[in-house]
Amino acid sequence: MGDAQLIVTHFCIPEPVTSVAALGEGFINDTFLVQTQAEQQYILQRKNRSVFRDIPAMMENISKVTRHIQSEGGITYHLIATREDKWYHKDADGEYWACFTYIPDTITFEHAQNMDMVRAGGQGVGLFNSQMAGFNGYLEDTLPGFHNISYRFEQFAGSLNRARSRSSDAPVSQSNASMESNSTSRLEEVSSLVDEVYSRKEQMEAFWNLVAAGTIPRRVSHNDTKLSNFLFDKDLQVVCAIDLDTVMQTTVLFDFGDAVRSYANPFPEDHPRVQDVKMDVERFSAFSQGYLSKAAWFLNEAEKTHLAFSALYITYEQFLRFLMDYIDRDTYYRVRYPAHNMVRARSQLALLKSMEAQLPAMQRILSEIFKTY
Ligand code: GN1
Ligand code: MG
């Protein structure tokens, strides 16, 4: 905390700062709320260096996107420059920090409370995609392969190999032996989940190939549109997208799909009772209505055709990533208890299975909505 108090002085905040306090529990970054003598508050964030390998490029992307939204008359946060006129401050430990305005009178949620909020969420994601549809600048690919499933398969194979070699190369020393047995049992424990990953491999690669070939066009997308990355007002209307760390030129289908993963499930992404977890068609319908009310105008035929499947793709990818991190002994996502990543993986798999069973219904709902445009 002392750190953050000192760091904040590097940014050109016009009002005198009165306090800097930790805020929320992000999976990736560390976030602080900065209060000042005036009403305006700010967010100070230590960006995660092991996730984001090129933070200056990431901040440049964020600055382009926020300026574009402002030029469209939309609401977004404003980046605060440092005294050296940069969008980030690099501290003595090599850690990167960024600062931006806090948008007042807003709330975030972990999951949707009711159907109106689901529809509003759809409008929010659609609005972000639509505001950026006319952007003709260039964004850096700051997380190469982020939603590229072929890349995730390579990572996954690496993680399985590491876990296997940890057990076969097990050194004899007592302390190491107990560590190894722990990782072997993690892999054994999830062997049926590993099979679930591979049984869908070709299908998922086929979708990615459409993106790689440009059949599904590249556009500016948020790439992390879960519910908690949007601000709501007191009437439960979406104010704007936040957490723009992952903005890149991929496909808006990833934004639609990731949001469906989060809005259409009545439970949080780590809900442990998998029998409760499902893709609720009513929620899917409300979300899609909201999304398409803002985004239908710019989607091409290929995007419309593959919209429903994008939800399966992203849910599958998330299942794979949580499972991989469990096998890797929790090196990426912050966990609250030892089995957390496995619980998350199982929960996402249950959601995926529910989507698979309802894919024809999802497609019917979307075609009905398209008819109204
Ligand atoms: C991470 O940063 P945060 O917590 O909004 C992750 C997303 C996952 C999400 C799952 C850069 O998002 O890809 O979908 O957790 N972000 C990164 O909750 O890996
Ligand atoms: Mg976030």
Q: Could you list the residue range(s) of the whole structural domain that residue 73 is in?
A: 2-101
Q: Rounded distance, CA 154 to CA 140, Å?
A: 22
pLDDT for res 24: 77
Q: Is 64 in the same domain as 138? A: no
Q: Is 239 in the same domain as 353? A: yes
The CA 327 to ligand 1 mean position distance, Å, reads: 18
- What residue's CA is closest to ligand 1, atom 7? 224
Q: Is 142 in the same domain as 93? A: no
pLDDT at 250 > cutoff 90 = yes
Q: What is the crossing angle of helices 281-295 and 252-263, to 10°?
A: 150
Task: Let me know if residue 310 belongs to a domain.
Answer: yes
Q: Are 313 and 207 in contact (CB under 8 A)?
A: yes
Ligand 1, atom nearest to 269 Cα: 18
- Check which CATH number belongs to the domain holding 21 and give it: 3.30.200.20
- What residue's CA is closest to ligand 1, atom 15? 27
Q: Are 306 and 253 in contact (CB under 8 A)?
A: yes
Q: Is 244 in the same domain as 294? A: yes
C-alpha gyration radius of the chain = 21
Q: Is 127 in the same domain as 48? A: no
pLDDT at 175 > cutoff 50 = no
Stated pTM of the model = 0.91
The CA 224 to ligand 1 mean position distance, Å, reads: 6
Ligand 1, atom nearest to 51 Cα: 11
Q: Is 95 in the same domain as 121? A: no
Q: How many CA atoms lie within 13 A of 105 on its CB side?
A: 7
pLDDT at 281 > cutoff 60 = yes
pLDDT for res 181: 54
- What residue's CA is closest to ligand 1, atom 13? 224
pLDDT for res 168: 66
pLDDT for res 228: 87
Task: Let me know if residue 195 belongs to a domain.
Answer: yes
- Check which CATH number belongs to the domain holding 123 and give it: 3.90.1200.10
**In the structure encoding, which two tokens stand for residue 153, read together?**
């398969």
246 pLDDT tier (thresholds 50, 70, 90): very high
pLDDT for res 255: 98
Q: Which ligand is in closest contact with the Cα of 53?
A: 1
Percent of the chain residues topping a pLDDT of 90: 88
Domain count across the chain: 2
Task: Let me know if residue 161 belongs to a domain.
Answer: no
When mean pLDDT is compared across 21-30, 34-43, 91-100, 137-146, the lowest value belongs to 21-30
Average pLDDT over residues 309-323: 98
Q: Is 203 in the same domain as 253? A: yes
Task: Let me know if residue 174 belongs to a domain.
Answer: no
Q: Is 96 in the same domain as 145? A: no
Tell which of 101, 134, 169 closes a domain: 101
Q: Is 131 in the same domain as 228? A: yes
Q: Rounded distance, CA 178 to CA 174, Å?
A: 6
Q: Is 253 in the same domain as 366? A: yes
pLDDT per position as a tens digit, 22-46 = 997 777 889 999 999 999 999 999 9
pLDDT at 16 > cutoff 90 = yes
Tell which of 37, 66, 101 closes a domain: 101
Task: Let me know if residue 155 belongs to a domain.
Answer: no
Is the beta carbon of 145 within 6 A of some atom in ligand 1?
A: no
Average pLDDT over residues 268-288: 97
110 pLDDT tier (thresholds 50, 70, 90): confident
Is the beta carbon of 318 within 6 A of some atom in ligand 1?
A: yes
The CA 193 to ligand 2 mean position distance, Å, reads: 26
Task: Let me know if residue 304 belongs to a domain.
Answer: yes
